[in-house]
């Protein structure tokens, strides 16, 4: 394990104790002003959403084990996964890709499983058995209480194929032949799918379009989309990272006299990696958080560019793929392509990213971490009958009180942390976070403390109110690369306690390398 001096050492014994005023002297200092009377917007639960793709172990061995499996399941869906998803609130799950979406023909995944065709799976020449299709995905969503988000095939598909899929999913029984086919395949009630992505990464694996060519395809695919009681929330494929040229050229074509219906524009941002999933220096710890924090710039600049063409702000921004992406070497199963072990560093990346989304609740309608299980920035790892939550899962659960609450402005000030990116000097925020208000009394404050070795004393000032009580939950560890395994599933887990804090100014000590949630009840 990597300790806070930045070299390999023994694994930590467990989560560190909650920081408090009796902790060792905190270096520096921070102030966090929570401006309770300056609302930003409602924090949609959808920004805490997920992404699932037919790749590696995400679907097969992750979500789907099959109804005849010895692994505990509900109609073929892994039961432990469903149980844990219910703890994360009602959000959205994106499927079937990813790059897989633009090679997927939805008819391959309906009807009797034994008669479904086996296809080239696009990834490492694996075979896609199509055992998991539209009905199975909807079963998973319904079990979890989540809404489905389907990504349509633009790269290899057609507008009629897309529109038939919408009709198959949403038309009432008896209304059309496709609706009757859905009923015959086991689902009388319509699926009520609202979220439809028109292609994926159309600048790359989704067809290698220019922005203008993709906009033309987008128009063809959305010229006529049946509603059947559900207004389609249509999503265009946005840029790779903060590619302003793609955004401006797409929207310039979109407004040239033939605007197509468009609810949201989807950017992807992977902050990538620094070092290795579990082997990195303290400088690389800071560099990873620094790269993740670029999400703030991306949202501000993409939103500004979109506003040049949509001044009425009818089109929202979504980030339907985001997260860390480390090099291979920590897979739990060699068949799980792009699987990586998630550690404390990944948890802090998730927390600071979610705080960015909260602070931009007026701009971001949805965000989908990539991916849910056994792939990239996962919340869960599974292999056969083994299952474990990563530290990132705990962050998502810690942030659940923000769902549906009103984001309020937060101003954080603290000394910056110096570090190096190669030979170049750089600096990172010491403390950052977000806050929300639910009703007249409840306030949730979440703070990320980036310093790898030292605690910090922070004064949290509630502008316009006073606290009657505070409860604190902390996720941290003595080792920067601490992670949960099948053998030690609770090595990194949050700890909660009542805090003896009242009034309008709360003095707290934030642990090193930590995520802290304060549940405040106002006087």
Q: Give the residue numbers annotated as catalytic, written as ranges.
A: 201, 321
User: How open is the CA angle 497-409-294, to the nearest 5 degrees?
Assistant: 90
Residue 252's SS3 state is helix
Given a contact cutoff of 8 angstroms between Cβ atoms, the answer to whether 394 and 75 are in contact is: no
Give bridge partners of residue 49 from the DSSP assignment.
Answer: 368
DSSP 124-164: TT-EE---S-HHHHHHHHHHHT-EEEEEE--SS--HHHHHH
Given a contact cutoff of 8 angstroms between Cβ atoms, the answer to whether 458 and 510 are in contact is: yes
What is the rounded CA–CA span in Å between residue 417 and residue 414? Answer: 9
User: How open is the CA angle 37-40-41, to the nearest 5 degrees?
Assistant: 115
The residues, any chain, with a CB within 8 Å of residue 280's CB and separated by 6 or more, are: 2, 274, 288, 345, 480, 481
Given a contact cutoff of 8 angstroms between Cβ atoms, the answer to whether 308 and 248 are in contact is: yes
Comparing CA positions, the residue from 350, 356, 446, 417 lying closest to residue 34 is 446
Residue 368's SS3 state is strand
φ/ψ region of 27 (left if φ > 0, alpha if ψ in -120 to 50, else beta) reads beta
Q: Distance of CA 137 to CAs 52, 59, 73, Å?
A: 10, 10, 14
**86 DSSP assignment:** G
Q: Distance of CA 174 to CAs 137, 192, 385, Å?
A: 23, 16, 41
Give bridge partners of residue 479 from the DSSP assignment.
Answer: 3
Q: How far apart are the first and last CA of the chain?
A: 44
Tell me the H-state helices in 310-424.
Answer: 344-359, 391-398
Q: How many helices (H) and strands (E) does the chain have?
A: 10, 25
Given a contact cutoff of 8 angstroms between Cβ atoms, the answer to whether 147 and 195 are in contact is: yes
Q: Which residues of 188-201 are buried (b: 16+ CB within 10 A; e: fewer)?
A: eebbebbbbbbbbb
**Cβ–Cβ contacts within 10 Å for residue 312, how many?**
6
For residue 260, give both structure tokens: 């197509």
For residue 332, give both structure tokens: 């739990």
What is the rounded CA–CA span in Å between residue 368 and residue 52? Answer: 9
């Amino acid at each position: 394990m990597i300790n806070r001096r930045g070299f390999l050492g023994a694994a930590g014994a467990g989560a560190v104790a909650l920081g408090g005023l009796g902790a060792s002297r905190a270096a520096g200092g921070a102030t966090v002003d929570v401006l309770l009377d300056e609302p930003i917007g409602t924090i949609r639960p959808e920004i805490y959403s997920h992404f699932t793709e037919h790749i590696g172990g995400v679907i097969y061995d992750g979500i789907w084990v099959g109804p005849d499996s010895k692994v505990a399941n509900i109609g073929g869906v892994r039961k432990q996964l469903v149980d844990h998803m219910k703890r994360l609130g009602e959000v959205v799950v994106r499927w079937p890709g990813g790059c897989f979406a633009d090679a997927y023909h939805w008819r391959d995944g309906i009807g009797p499983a034994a008669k479904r065709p086996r296809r080239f799976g696009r990834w490492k020449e694996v075979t896609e058995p199509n055992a998991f299709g539209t009905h199975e995905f909807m079963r998973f969503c319904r079990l979890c209480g989540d809404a489905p988000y389907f990504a349509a095939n633009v790269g290899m598909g057609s507008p009629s194929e897309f529109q038939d899929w919408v009709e198959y999913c949403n038309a009432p029984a008896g209304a059309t032949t496709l609706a009757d086919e859905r009923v015959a395949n086991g689902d009388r009630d319509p699926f009520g799918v609202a979220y439809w992505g028109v292609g994926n990464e159309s600048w790359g694996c989704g067809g290698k379009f220019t922005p203008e060519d993709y906009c033309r395809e987008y128009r063809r695919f959305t010229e006529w989309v049946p509603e059947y009681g559900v207004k389609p929330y249509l999503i265009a494929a946005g840029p790779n990272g903060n590619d302003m040229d793609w955004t401006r050229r797409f929207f310039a074509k979109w407004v040239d006299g033939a605007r197509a219906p468009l609810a949201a524009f989807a950017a992807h941002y992977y902050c990538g990696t620094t070092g290795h999933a579990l082997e990195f220096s303290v400088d690389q710890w800071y560099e990873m958080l620094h790269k993740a924090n670029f999400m703030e710039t991306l949202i501000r600049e993409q939103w500004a560019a979109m506003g040049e063409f949509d001044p009425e702000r009818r089109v929202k921004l979504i980030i339907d793929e985001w997260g860390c992406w480390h090099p291979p070497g920590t897979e739990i199963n060699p068949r799980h392509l792009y699987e990586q072990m998630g550690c404390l560093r990944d948890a802090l990346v998730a927390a600071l990213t979610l705080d960015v989304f909260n602070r931009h609740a007026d701009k971001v309608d949805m965000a989908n971490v990539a991916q849910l299980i056994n792939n990239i920035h996962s919340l869960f790892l599974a292999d056969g009958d083994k299952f474990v939550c990563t530290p990132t899962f705990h962050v998502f659960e810690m942030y659940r009180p923000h769902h549906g609450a009103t984001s309020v402005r937060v101003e954080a000030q603290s000394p910056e942390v110096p570090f190096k990116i190669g030979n170049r000097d750089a600096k990172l925020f010491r403390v950052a976070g977000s806050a929300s208000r639910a009703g007249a009394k409840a306030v949730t404050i979440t703070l990320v403390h980036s310093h790898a070795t030292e605690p910090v004393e922070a004064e949290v000032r509630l502008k316009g109110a006073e606290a009657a009580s505070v409860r604190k939950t902390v996720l941290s560890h003595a080792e920067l690369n601490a992670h949960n395994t099948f053998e030690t599933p609770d090595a990194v887990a949050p700890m909660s306690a009542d805090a003896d804090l009242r009034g309008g100014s709360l003095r707290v000590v934030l642990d090193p390398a930590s995520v802290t949630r304060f549940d405040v009840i106002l006087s």
